[in-house]
């Protein structure tokens, strides 16, 4: 399904709506627990606009303005994960909370460096959609990997992941190193029809490098610039990113891939050996605040994991997925990803990103 993003989005008055995922009943309400008065919390997070929005909607109004001190340790997730795992031997983590995606959370739980959650200390967690929950992970925002294209230059866009491997798109496709594991699974899906065939997908990626020569960017912002200046006309990235770039004025549209889009859920975990556990719990609960999540959805155009976020019908239709799209969405096999991520990154850096 193609979605034209040229019409400007104007947020209307927020009002209470139904659940994020169709047909999911809201969990019973839990009594709200006031945040602890003050404390220091060290947060491991991505930088850039992701961190800026985290500060604007969560950290400043709900923590710093209430007496907390938030110390930010920013970087890409491979480095932040490696640091946390290395600190296991001294049984003291430098961060209390780490922002990760759901797959990385599973991996870190296997490494025994993030904690099982005491949900009585995260009252807002009761409202999270059941399908997104895990006992060690606070889901926050979600999206999926789609095809984003310049509708002025690509009147007949690729309609599937498989189409992206056609040499006719040579020099026109932009990718980012941040999504290397998604591209590995995408290639496996095209090669073998499932999300656990990354090995079978490697020859497709090698063929793409040789024949189509996609442009590879370090991060989302650089890919956005590549679309804006005409270096590339097609990007494979999160739907939310395409919406953000269209909101910035680029003539972009989104194609939901025929195979079903690869889902991604972002959130945070409490580290096992962090020194400020109470402040960490206060931080996690603040992340799920309905008002904060509504602001984040409007600013970031990711779909919120807390259905109590008060979005307009227009905004929810824009950032969320249709029932038909959700029915075909591809969710990760976390154990498979955790087992292979390190090897994939090494292969990617040697064979694709060179």
Domain 144-263+332-352 indexed as CATH 1.10.150.80: no
Q: Are 273 and 88 in contact (CB under 8 A)?
A: yes
**pLDDT one digit per residue (tens) for the chain, 354 residues:** 555 454 444 333 333 233 333 333 333 333 333 344 579 999 999 999 899 999 999 999 999 999 999 999 999 988 999 999 999 999 999 999 999 999 999 999 999 999 999 999 999 999 998 888 999 999 999 999 999 999 999 999 999 999 999 999 999 999 999 999 999 999 999 999 999 999 999 999 999 999 999 999 999 999 999 999 999 999 999 999 999 999 999 999 999 999 999 999 999 999 999 999 999 999 999 999 999 999 999 999 999 999 999 899 999 999 988 889 988 999 999 999 989 988 999 999 998 876
d(CA 36, CA 48): 28
Indicate if the alpha-carbon torsion angle 18, 24, 27, 32 is positive or negative. negative
d(CA 199, CA 204): 10
Task: Specify the DSSP class assigned to residue 267.
Answer: E
* Domain spans in the chain, listed from the N-terminal domain onward: 27-142+265-320, 144-263+332-352
Q: What is the pLDDT of residues 240-273, one digit of tens each?
A: 999 999 999 999 999 999 999 999 999 999 999 9
Within 13 Å and on the Cβ side, how many CA atoms surround 251? 10
Q: How is domain 27-142+265-320 classified at the CATH fold level?
A: D-Maltodextrin-Binding Protein; domain 2 (3.40.190)
Alpha-carbon Rg of the chain, whole angstroms? 20
Q: Are 267 and 138 in contact (CB under 8 A)?
A: yes
The dihedrals phi and psi of 9, each to the nearest 5 degrees, come to -95, 125
Beta pairing class for 234-238 and 173-176: parallel
């Amino acid at each position: 399904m193609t979605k034209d993003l040229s019409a400007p989005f104007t947020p209307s008055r927020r009002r209470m709506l139904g659940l994020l995922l169709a047909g999911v009943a809201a969990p019973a309400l839990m009594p709200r627990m006031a945040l602890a008065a003050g404390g220091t919390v060290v947060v491991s997070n991505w930088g850039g606009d992701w961190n800026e929005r985290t500060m604007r909607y969560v950290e400043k109004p709900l923590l710093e303005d209430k007496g907390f001190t938030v110390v930010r340790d920013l970087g890409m997730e491979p480095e932040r994960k490696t640091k946390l795992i290395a600190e296991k031997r001294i049984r003291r983590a430098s961060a209390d909370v780490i922002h990760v995606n759901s797959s990385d959370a599973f991996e870190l739980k296997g490494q025994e460096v993030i904690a099982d959650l005491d949900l009585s200390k995260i009252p807002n967690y009761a409202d999270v959609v059941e399908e997104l929950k895990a006992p060690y992970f606070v889901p926050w925002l979600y999206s999926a990997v789609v095809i984003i294209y310049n509708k002025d230059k690509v009147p007949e866009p690729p309609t599937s992941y498989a189409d992206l491997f056609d040499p006719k798109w040579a020099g026109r496709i932009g990718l980012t190193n941040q999504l290397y594991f998604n591209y590995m699974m995408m290639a496996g899906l095209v090669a073998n029809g499932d999300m656990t065939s990354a090995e079978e997908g490697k020859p497709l990626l090698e063929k793409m490098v040789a024949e189509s020569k996609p442009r590879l960017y370090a991060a989302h912002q650089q890919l956005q610039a590549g679309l804006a200046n005409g270096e590339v006309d097609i990007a494979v990235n999160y739907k939310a990113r395409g919406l953000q770039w269209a909101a910035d004025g680029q003539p972009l549209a989104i194609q939901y891939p025929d195979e079903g889009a690869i889902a991604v859920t972002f959130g945070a975990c409490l580290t096992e050996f962090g020194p400020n556990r109470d402040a960490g719990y206060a931080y996690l609960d603040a992340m799920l605040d309905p008002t904060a999540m509504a602001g984040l959805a409007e600013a970031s155009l990711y779909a919120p994991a807390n259905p109590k976020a008060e979005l307009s019908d227009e905004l929810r239709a824009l950032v969320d997925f249709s029932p038909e799209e959700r029915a075909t969405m591809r969710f990760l096999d976390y154990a498979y990803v955790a087992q292979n991520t390190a090897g994939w990154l090494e292969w990617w850096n040697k064979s694709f990103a060179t």
